[in-house]
Each structure stands twice: as structure tokens, then as C-alpha cells.
Amino acid sequence: MKNNKLKTPEQEKSAVIPKSLKQMVGERIKVVELYGQVFQSTFGTSLGKYMHPVFGFDVVKFDQLIHPKDGESTKDVVEREYGKEAVDLILKLIKA
């Protein structure tokens, strides 16, 4: 049996677009504010350079900073050169 309950316009909109662009950008700004200083002290550069306002942390661009060799993962390079805490930071940024 079908559910014939009508949805409000707000419910319809939220079902189609889970987050607004404004919300996404706001979340990225919060991430930079939260992790920016530790990223700067760890990697010697601004986190803002590697955060896309919609897509989040740009791993491909970050790879240009750390220069992994062919067949070497970003995680392996970060752990070897910067330590386990730096790996944890990058993983948080990817998930944010």
C-alpha cells in the first residue's frame, strides 16, 4: 500500500537538496577555523589553500605539497615525514 501523506514544500526541498551551498561553505569555513593553525604548524602552509568550498579537502592538490613517489600513498608519506598525528589530521579533513 502506498503512503499518500502529502509533504510540505520544505520537506520536498530537503529531500531533493540535503544541504544548501551556503551550509556547505559554512561547514568548510568552520573546518579551516578549527584545524587551520595545527595544519599550518604541521605542514608550514595554509589549510585554506587545500579546502574546496563545496568538495572539501583537496587530496590531489595536497599531494603536490608532499610529493609522493609513484606507488606511494599520501598516508605513507604523511606518516613518514610528519607523524601519526598528521595522518589523523588529514583523515579528519577528508571526512569533514
Q: Where are the domains of the chain?
A: 19-95
Which tens digits make up the pLDDT trace of 70-85? Answer: 999 999 999 999 999 9
Which tens digits make up the pLDDT trace of 19-53? Answer: 788 888 888 899 999 999 999 999 999 999 999 98
Q: What is the pLDDT of residue 88?
A: 97
| pTM score, whole prediction | 0.74
Name the residue among 38, 85, 90 with its Cα closest to residue 65. 90
